Amino acid sequence: MFKSQALPEYRATIDTDKCIRCKRCIQNCGWSVYSWGGDRVQIETSKCVSCLRCYHYCPTEAIEILKEETTYKPNAYWSYNHIRNIKRQAETGGIPLMGMGSDREGIILFDHLLLDACQVTNPSIDPLREPMELQTYLGKKPSKLEFKHDKKTGKRKLTTKMPPNLKLTAPIIFSPMSYGSISLNAQKVLARTAKECGILMNTGEGGLHEDLKPYTSNIIVQVASGRFGVNPEYLNAGVAVEIKIGQGAKPGIGGHLPGEKIPLEVAKTRMIPVGTDALSPAPQHDIYSIEDLRQLIYALKEATNYKPVSVKIATVHNVAAIASGIVRAGADIVYLDGFRGGTGAAPGIIRDHLGIPIEHALAAVDDRLRQEGIRNEASIIAAGGIRSAADAAKAIALGADAVAIGSAALQTMGCTMCGKCYTGNCSWGITTQRPELTARLDPEVYAVRLSNLIRAWVHELMEVLGALGVNAIESLRGSRERLRGIGLDAQTLDILGVKPVGR
Amino acid sequence: MNHDFQKDIAGCGLTGLISKKRNRVSGGIIAKSLTLMNDRGNGLGAGYAAYGIYPDFADFYAFHIMYDAQSARFSVEEYIKENFHVEKIEEIPTSPVPEIAINPLLVRYFISPLKEKITGPEGEEDFVVNAIMKINSEIDAAYVFSSGKNMGAFKGVGNPSVIAEFFRLEEYEGHIWTAHTRFPTNTPGWWGGAHPFTLLDWSIVHNGEISSYGINKRYLEMFGYKLSLLTDTEVVAYLFDLLIRRHGLDVETACTILAAPFWKDIDDMDPDEKEAVTALRQTYSSALLNGPFSLLFGHKNGLVGINDRIKLRPLVAATHNDMVYMASEESAIREICPEPDTVWAPRAGEPVIVTLDD
């Protein structure tokens, strides 16, 4: 057999003294790294992706997954990845695929932003003793309100009709991940947690499986270019509808779910034949312009008796103008998915070279909507690389109403960001449809872990608010005065609307 | 520049009074109350606002303008004469006091907008506000202290008693007074930076630091306000202006926005009130004043005192006959009203709203 010149990335090792030949590693590995050699486990290390499933399930701690030390001659210009991709392309003539968000080195603005805290002149607030409010509403808000007053009692009564809003107990939601790209059990973990925590999950573009119907009061349904599973019942099933224009990991391109990942249940949910490739075109073929988008927004509103409509875009160079257009087209929510945004499968060249980071995009969009006096017309969701409650707090301070998390949620289910989602072999049962793998992901068990994560972030956000001396999330939202930039140039600071540390 | 601004921080003491029957009270009284709280300031700013002091010019906007340079006066007066009918111009009477070595030129104008200059949909008050914004932001070394009808602000760098003596405060009689002594922590005192802050007939004296300043500022900028002073208090003044004058909300509703009830309390409200307050919090979330404050808000029809939503700054209120007093400390009230009928500490976020009887 032809041996690939693309070097293996990891070295799976078994300490034969510790190994008790239980074969659990063989059973657990979705990539067939291990096989039974008669008296011991054999290892085909080039298949290892370092998902660590075997490591966690080895009862005797015999397994170690090491970084493969054999490497190309170090070269500051020709990196390991450059050379390895060329070898792969030379062998296949194809486009190297990647899973998860871009792991490229480079400046990460979140890590160059520092939050404020109170000392003396204004007191900090103890979140363990005082109320600390994270409740958030997503959707259009009027620019002002009107009341009438009862002549006798003087009591006020609202006369302005409020647009529909989505109530969240915390400014965190789950990013869209479709059934097909992830398993039904993974979706169930998201749905259960959303319900448990009073937040939202999003179907992605794969339709809504029967089993998720008990959770629809915490579900946004998505309409994307493939229109999978879309019918009137689907549109009305959730609390809002999202039009997906683009994704941060692959701006400007569509999606391709291979036929191998379309078994019967996925096919039924997507309303396509079993085993056919599910192709999502690059553009939505009824949206070639902003006016087309407006028509679709209002078509969906008409179809749903005016539920909120979200429009999700990848953050590209002109994101501010595009977002302004989306708001003026009638969207209730603008979902910004940044450069670091995750994916199940994207061409590496697209994922690592197109689009702009969420921090710049968010700041630019929030500024633009304010300059145009339409910031109240839509909520902004920031996504694409939110790694922690600290990132969330910084995104909110830059102007986001809420953040969406995908990768972080999957990590609670076992994901180690190995980035091989597109293979359909996920040993944790997340990005696979192989029944023996998906069965591993018990929704009940993993919903507890994901709920724990949300609760932990909620506590962390409360601690941050308390240190900032405010007791409601809206007092942090867009309050860039509470951020300082470190090691950023003047122009970047100006784009972010943030002062440098020391000022 | 988007990011290049400096914010001022200050602590303070405040006091105010109102006669519901419009009995006029000498400025000496309020100065006495404020002077008792000398230790709440550090001599880098004190000021007073008074309503009912210009009965002879009650129909004219009384502009108190401060100039740091004579040239600014020429520019401002040229601008005013182009856009306003000028009833009277005079320098604000002052007495020399040894503590004030150098003071800005202080001039007052009784003016009314020229009808033909008000074009388009904006009303007279918008026109006046725009004129103030223009003077404050575009003409160097000129700053409008106050601009309302039959009211005025007197403020500067000095202790409460020094400022009162300098402005000859005992010569004015008003039916509403607010006063403020200042403890700036990071900037040298500046005459324009002293309280009260005013716009038209609103006046604010404020003790506290608005921890939500950043978003309050950006919210106001959406409505065209230019925040030229970079103090918390300016934000409060403009928020009242936006909510009451421009959005037509009543004082109580404005207070509900600025010191909003907690969601847990909103859940227990009756359905109409719950709907109203939920909508207020959704719509005006960026106007929530978060962080420690107590403030007095004077306007032509009354006086309002309010604390932040968890009462991180002191505020005490008292009544005596038709008088209502509010101050940072009870002692400041008892200094000028030794035997009040009632004295109480208003609860967090619950405004004390006093309206003139007529």
What predicted TM-score, i.e. pTM, was given to this entire model?
0.93
Domain presence at residue A139: no
Predicted local confidence at residue B84, as pLDDT: 96
The domain tally of chain B equals 1
Enclosing domain of residue A45: 10-94
Predicted local confidence at residue B208, as pLDDT: 83
pLDDT in tens, B176-224: 999 999 887 655 667 888 889 888 998 999 888 889 999 999 999 999 8
Domain presence at residue B285: yes
CA dist B168 → A435, B143, B162 (Å): 88, 21, 10
Chain A closest CA to B283's CA: distance in Å? 5
Q: Are A376 and A143 spatial neighbours (Cβ–Cβ below 8 Å)?
A: yes
Could you say which of A367, A478, A503 has the minimum Cβ distance to residue B215?
A478
Predicted local confidence at residue B152, as pLDDT: 97
Contacts of B212 in chain A (CB under 8 A): 470, 475, 479
Q: Are A295 and A329 spatial neighbours (Cβ–Cβ below 8 Å)?
A: no
Q: Which DSSP letter does residue B342 get?
A: E
Q: Give the number of C-alpha atoms closer than 13 A to the C-alpha of residue B296, restricted to the C-beta side.
A: 32
Enumerate residues 6+ apart whose C-beta is below 8 A from A422. A97, A98, A99, A344, A345, A431
Could you say which of B9, B215, B280 has the minimum Cβ distance to residue A121?
B9
Domain presence at residue A150: no
Could you say which of A158, A475, A493 has the minimum Cβ distance to residue B215?
A475
Q: Are residues A90 and A174 in the same domain?
A: no
Q: Are B326 and B353 spatial neighbours (Cβ–Cβ below 8 Å)?
A: no
CA dist A173 → A100, A313, A383, B114, B122 (Å): 18, 16, 10, 55, 42
The domain tally of chain A equals 2
Q: Are A248 and A355 spatial neighbours (Cβ–Cβ below 8 Å)?
A: yes
Share of chain B above pLDDT 90, in %: 77
* Placement of tokens 């909003």 in the chain: B260
Q: How far is A234 from A256, CA to CA, in rounded Å?
A: 22
Are B291 and A474 an interchain contact pair (Cβ–Cβ within 8 Å)?
A: no
Q: How far is B231 from A252, CA to CA, in rounded Å?
A: 45
Q: Are residues A190 and A86 in the same domain?
A: no
CA A156 to chain centre: 42
Please check the confidence at residue B147 and state whether its pLDDT lies above 50.
yes
Contacts of A135 in chain B (CB under 8 A): 263
DSSP H helices in A239-379: 264-270, 290-303, 319-328, 348-353, 358-371
Q: How far is B169 from B167, CA to CA, in rounded Å?
A: 5
Instruction: Dihedral sign for Cα A365, A370, A372, A376, please.
Output: positive
Q: Are B180 and B14 spatial neighbours (Cβ–Cβ below 8 Å)?
A: yes
Domain presence at residue B4: no
Domain presence at residue A30: yes
Q: Which of A137, A474, A477, A494 to mutate to test the interface with B (most CBs of B within 10 A)?
A: A474
Domain presence at residue A457: yes
Predicted local confidence at residue B7, as pLDDT: 58
Are A503 and B6 an interchain contact pair (Cβ–Cβ within 8 Å)?
A: yes
Are A121 and B211 an interchain contact pair (Cβ–Cβ within 8 Å)?
A: no
Q: How far is A408 from B289, CA to CA, in rounded Å?
A: 33
Q: In what order do the strands lie in the sheet with A483-485?
A: A113-115, A483-485, A499-500
Q: Which of B239, B244, B252, B282 to mutate to test the interface with A (most CBs of A within 10 A)?
A: B282
Q: Give the number of C-alpha atoms closer than 13 A to the C-alpha of residue A387, restricted to the C-beta side.
A: 11
Mean pLDDT confidence for B73-100: 95
Enumerate residues 6+ apart whose C-beta is below 8 A from B276. A147, A156, A157, A158
Which pLDDT band holds residue B38 (cuts at 50, 70, 90)?
confident
Are B211 and A118 an interchain contact pair (Cβ–Cβ within 8 Å)?
A: yes
- Buried/exposed code over A306-342 (b: 16+ C-beta within 10 A; e: otherwise): ebbbbbbbbbbeebbebbbbbbebbbbbbbbbbbbbb
Q: Are B139 and B75 spatial neighbours (Cβ–Cβ below 8 Å)?
A: yes
Enumerate residues 6+ apart whose C-beta is below 8 A from B174. B24, B25, B27, B50, B51, B52, B53, B151
Q: Are residues A84 and A221 in the same domain?
A: no
Give the count of beta carbons closer than 10 Å to the beta carbon of residue B151: 27
Are B212 and A475 an interchain contact pair (Cβ–Cβ within 8 Å)?
A: yes
pLDDT in tens, A86-133: 999 999 999 999 999 999 988 899 999 999 999 988 889 999 999 999
Contacts of B254 in chain A (CB under 8 A): none
Q: Are B301 and B148 spatial neighbours (Cβ–Cβ below 8 Å)?
A: no
Are B309 and A497 an interchain contact pair (Cβ–Cβ within 8 Å)?
A: no
- At A315, which CATH number? 3.20.20.70
Contacts of A144 in chain B (CB under 8 A): 247, 283
Are A141 and B283 an interchain contact pair (Cβ–Cβ within 8 Å)?
A: yes
Which pLDDT band holds residue B11 (cuts at 50, 70, 90)?
low
* Placement of tokens 């229109």 in the chain: A227
In three-state secondary structure terms, B197 is strand
Contacts of B223 in chain A (CB under 8 A): 373
In three-state secondary structure terms, B144 is strand
Domain presence at residue A319: yes
Predicted local confidence at residue B4, as pLDDT: 57
Which residue, A43, A59, A94, sits at the end of a domain?
A94
Q: Are residues A186 and A329 in the same domain?
A: yes
Contacts of B286 in chain A (CB under 8 A): 474, 477-478
Which residue, A50, A73, A94, sits at the end of a domain?
A94
CB-defined contacts A:B, below 8 A: 134
Domain presence at residue A274: no
Which residue, A94, A118, A151, sits at the end of a domain?
A94
Measured in degrees and rounded to the nearest 5, phi and psi for residue B38 equal -50, -35
Could you say which of A121, A375, A503 has the minimum Cβ distance to residue B185?
A121
Domain presence at residue B80: yes
- At A76, which CATH number? 3.30.70.20
Instruction: Dihedral sign for Cα B164, B143, B223, A403, please.
Output: negative
Chain A closest CA to B236's CA: distance in Å? 14
Instruction: State yes or no: is B255 an active-site residue.
Output: no
Domain presence at residue B254: yes
Domain presence at residue A65: yes
Contacts of B218 in chain A (CB under 8 A): 370, 478-480
Read out DSSP for A1-47? -PPPSSPPSEEEEE-TTT-----HHHHH-TT--EEE-SSSEEE-GGG
Chain B closest CA to A357's CA: distance in Å? 19
Predicted local confidence at residue B225, as pLDDT: 87
Q: Are residues A222 and A307 in the same domain?
A: yes
Could you say which of B273, B280, B312 has the minimum Cβ distance to residue A145?
B280
pLDDT in tens, B266-323: 999 999 999 999 999 999 999 999 999 999 999 999 999 999 999 999 999 999 999 9
Contacts of A467 in chain B (CB under 8 A): none
Predicted local confidence at residue B188, as pLDDT: 60
Q: Are residues A419 and A288 in the same domain?
A: yes
Nearest CA in chain B to A473: B285
Q: How far is B213 from B10, CA to CA, in rounded Å?
A: 13
Enclosing domain of residue B229: 10-355
Q: Give the number of C-alpha atoms closer than 13 A to the C-alpha of residue A464, restricted to the C-beta side.
A: 25
Q: How far is B303 from A196, CA to CA, in rounded Å?
A: 47
Nearest CA in chain B to A162: B279
The catalytically annotated residue of B10, B12, B128, B169 is B12
Are A482 and B276 an interchain contact pair (Cβ–Cβ within 8 Å)?
A: no
Domain presence at residue B235: yes
Q: How far is A483 from A397, CA to CA, in rounded Å?
A: 7
The parts of chain A modelled with pLDDT lower than 50 are none
Chain A closest CA to B2's CA: distance in Å? 5
Q: How far is A46 from A65, CA to CA, in rounded Å?
A: 12
Q: How far is A85 from A94, CA to CA, in rounded Å?
A: 10
**Average pLDDT of chain B to the nearest whole number:** 92
Q: How far is A423 from A344, CA to CA, in rounded Å?
A: 9
Domain presence at residue A161: no
Predicted local confidence at residue B1, as pLDDT: 46
Nearest CA in chain B to A125: B291
Could you say which of A125, A133, A147 has the minimum Cβ distance to residue B253?
A147
Measured in degrees and rounded to the nearest 5, phi and psi for residue B177 equal -130, 140
Predicted local confidence at residue A257, as pLDDT: 86
- Token output for A59: 């009862």
Predicted local confidence at residue B91, as pLDDT: 96
- At B55, which CATH number? 3.60.20.10
Considering only CA atoms, which of B145, B83, B123, B143 is closest in space to residue B245?
B123
Q: How far is B174 from B3, CA to CA, in rounded Å?
A: 42
Enumerate residues 6+ apart whose C-beta is below 8 A from B16. B30, B176, B177, B178, B179, B205, B296, B298, B303, B305, B325, B326, B327
Q: How far is B27 from B209, CA to CA, in rounded Å?
A: 27
Nearest CA in chain A to B288: A475
Q: Are residues A185 and A89 in the same domain?
A: no
Please check the confidence at residue B3 and state whether its pLDDT lies above 60.
no
Domain presence at residue B19: yes
